[in-house]
Amino acid sequence: MDPTDLELLVRIAAGEQEAMRHFYDRFSSRLYHFLRSRLHGDRALGEDALQEIFLNIWRSAGSFRNQSSVATWVFQIAYHQALRSLRH
């Protein structure tokens, strides 16, 4: 049985790289499409933003407070990263 998003996030917070790979596989495609739509189709900007998002998730997984779904938290990170990418 596949782990839930929350289980993966807890394992990421503990530094488990395999959990991060699984999390990336689960979210990267959806996030990339979300970013491309927010970044006016700019492929390079979308790829850079995607890497920043997963770096942010790796660093801040332990700060997830379970007040929303993991997906909502991840897409909130993506939204803010898209705004930062557009400003630069």
- The domain limits of the chain are 5-87
| The predicted structure's pLDDT at residue 55 | 98
Torsion of CA 35, 40, 41, 46, to 10 degrees: -40
For residues 9-42, one letter each, b for 16 or more C-beta atoms within 10 angstroms of the residue's C-beta and e for the rest, the string is: bbbbbeeeeebbebbbebbeeebbebbbebbeee
pLDDT for position 63: 96
Residue 1: the pLDDT is: 87
> CA-based angle 42:21:48, to the nearest 5?
20
The pLDDT value recorded for residue 41 is 87
Q: Are 9 and 23 in contact (CB under 8 A)?
A: yes
Give me the amino acid identity at 33.
Answer: H
Q: Each residue of 15-74: pLDDT tens digit?
A: 999 999 999 999 999 999 999 999 988 899 999 999 999 999 999 999 999 999 999 999
Would you identify the CATH topology of the domain 5-87? Rna Polymerase Sigma Factor; Chain: A (1.10.1740)
